[in-house]
Amino acid sequence: MLRIGLLTSGGDCQALNAAMRGVVKGLSANVPDLEVYGFFNGYHGLIYGDYRLLTSNDFSGILTKGGTILGSSRQPFKLMREPDENGLDKVEAMKSNYYKLNLNCLVILGGNGTQKTANLLREEGLNIIHLPKTIDNDIYGTDMTFGFYSAVNIACEAIDCIHTTAASHNRVFIVEVMGHKVGWLTLYAGVASGADIILLPEIPYDDDKIVEAIEARHKAGKGFTILAVAEGAISKEDAKLSKKELKKKQEKEGYPSVSYRIAKMIGDRTGAEARVTVPGHTQRGGSPCPYDRALCTRLGSAAAKAIMDQKYGNMVAIVDGETKLVPLGEVAGKLKTVDPECKMIKEAKRIGISFGD
């Protein structure tokens, strides 16, 4: 008898169900006796014993279904070693529920914070397999995370729709794309949708450069400008501040986000009418795109093989287009950021896209 646990943790994305389906189908087709336990709402379910024995029916028809059938929640890694409000040791509780069900392996689907806790459980002696999920594509050790391209599609659609109204009214439009620490999503969506200015957390911007780019387009007879702005974009001036100083400054300014601050600056300095659009959590929603469905099927199948081969303690990654097992201890806690000198940035600049630097 092979017994595995499944949980999805952190922010949701479009292809979590597809990835779980891949794991279970890969195992059920090759393992005569299989039991799959689903823990509800991420690590919360593992801590407090909220789980259910799943059947094949639970994984039927979910390839194209967004979200997660198990639910998700955020359980900050930095609090995992701290007892809950009732004094419960969370780590020991997770281990207890793992052993109570006599699991052979726990498959954890999630992003960076989820991965750090997965590695903690590995260090505590549990058999862990991690699948890299995040619309930010910022997990170190894998070329691609599932959810990314689905989110790119949605962000692109938002920018595409803005193009027509921006052109009709000769306005400056800012589309704020998700991404606090990294700009992969904004970069890909901005390039794919023909944004004129792309602002990323990794490349602090200069107000003067933004104004120059807008005025250059105006002089060239182009009446509108589209900016794709990551929610974590930061000015060169603010990048020099400490976190405490930056927070104090932002509270004093009172803007809902960086995009509104940029819109006000553009209006004041150019006289142009600048509007902000925030797609927000729509970027996480809806059905997974075909690429993510195929990717998750591959990752799930590779995870199933790793379980059957008892190659635990790994993340199932995509490296140079192929699935690969990467030790959790080598990647947990690391972030994959956009290199300001990467070829994609240089290629985008070559066709006239400004990055505000």
Angle at CA of residue 14, ends 11 and 19, nearest 5°: 95
Tell which residue, 137, 136, 150, 138, has the closest CA to residue 17. Answer: 150
Q: Among residues 19, 27, 3, which one has the least CA distance to residue 110?
A: 19
Coil vs helix vs strand at 284 = helix
12 is catalytic: no
Q: How far apart are CA 69 and CA 71, in angstroms?
A: 6
Q: How many CB atoms lie within 10 A of CB 154?
A: 21
Contacts of 186 (CB under 8 A, 6+ apart): 155, 177, 179, 198, 199, 200, 228, 229, 230, 233
Residue 329 Cα distances to 119, 140, 270, angstroms = 6, 11, 51
* Identity of residue 74: R
Q: Which of 12, 33, 58, 136 is catalytic?
A: 136
What is the distance between the alpha carbons of residues 130 and 245, in angstroms, rounded to a whole number?
37
Which phi and psi angles does 145 have, rounded to 5°? Answer: -110, 150
The answer to whether the beta carbons of residues 175 and 226 sit under 8 Å apart is yes
For 323-340, the DSSP string reads EEEEEHHHHTT-B-PPPT
């479009």: which residue's tokens? 14
206, with CB counted inside 10 A (0-12, 13-18, 19+), is middle
Q: Which residues participate in catalysis according to the annotation?
A: 136
